[in-house]
Structure 1
Amino acid sequence: MTDTPARVRELSLYRRYFDLVAVGAKTVEVRVKYPHLADLAAGDTIRFRVKGTDETCDVRVGRVTEYPDFEALLDGEGPAKVNPNAGRDRQLADIRAIYPPEKEALGALAIKVELLADH
């Protein structure tokens, strides 16, 4: 039996989402099911970086849940966990502004995150 050490992934975030993660208010990150995220798993660490800066925040992945689209993800996870400052419809519009339909067609990932204690 081999133990695989938890991996550290670096992902960019827009400032408004980064700030929510950094204070523990955003507990579910939304991503498209890109191939490079296919093996993301509970126990991994994600180092979020504010787009265009060196500012980072580390979180531990609690679970990764796949959904067919962003609507199903928001309904399954609850919009307050994704962005407590915006309602469901606003979030859906914001997410789709980041990810066009051809990206959403790849599937949606809800990544449950927990802020690491040293931040």
Structure 2
Amino acid sequence: MTTRQPAKHQLQTHGRPRNIQIYKQYFDLIASGEKTVEVRVAYDSMKRIRIGDLLNFTCRGEECLTRVTRVGRYPTFKEMFGTEDPKDVNPHATEAEQLRTIQAIFPPHKEALGVITFEITRMNSDE
């Protein structure tokens, strides 16, 4: 049940940007354009995010506006890495390192909700 390619229809923005807090190290990777895939547990609020939505990542008073270009859904983090390129998630860590870190952030009872990924593109604040 993975979605690897963007929808064939034109990207559209759905409402106002959604603010998402993120750890500083990942915020910096998104802001620099190095991180193009964000990984989250499939909470109901995350499941409502669609292609074309604006995500405003925030950390310590900083903001980075992005647009969702693809959404992926997976049963587990391990299966997610079977499709997603680890370099898109964190270009400075191996897949094994990333898996350990993600599982430390989201324990098994959270992972059991499912995994969702957002491929994102940085936006200028005036777009």
Q: TM-score, normalised by structure 2?
A: 0.85
Give how far 1:4 is off.
Answer: 7.5
Give how far 1:118 is off.
Answer: 4.1
Residue deviations 1:40-94 (CA, integer Å, cap 9, x gap): 00110000011xx211101000011100110111121110000000000000000
For the structure 1 residues 4 and 15, does the alpha-carbon distance in structure 2 shift closer, same or farther, using more than 3 Å as the test?
Answer: closer
Within the candidate set 28, 32, 35, 1:19 is matched to 28
Query: In structure 2, what is the Cα distance between the partners aligned to 1:115 and 1:37?
Result: 19
State the partner residue of 1:67: 74
Within the candidate set 94, 97, 104, 1:90 is matched to 97
**Equivalent position amino acid for 1:80 in 2:** K
RMSD of aligned Cα (Å): 1.7
The percentage of counterpart residues that share the same residue type is 42
Gaps of 5+ in 2: 1-11
Query: In structure 2, what is the Cα distance between the partners aligned to 1:118 and 1:66?
Result: 28
For the structure 1 residues 55 and 4, does the alpha-carbon distance in structure 2 shift closer, same or farther, using more than 3 Å as the test?
Answer: closer
State the partner residue of 2:121: 114
Gaps of 5+ in 1: none
Q: Does residue 28 of structure 2 align to residue 28 of structure 1? A: no
Give how far 1:5 is off.
Answer: 3.7
The number of aligned residues is: 115
**Equivalent position amino acid for 2:109 in 1:** E
Q: TM-score, normalised by structure 1?
A: 0.91
State the partner residue of 1:99: 106
Structure 1 consecutive aligned stretches of length 4 or more whose deviation exceeds 6 Å: none
Query: In structure 1, what is the Cα distance between the partners aligned to 2:86 and 2:48?
Result: 25
SS of equivalent to 1:76: coil
SS of equivalent to 1:117: coil
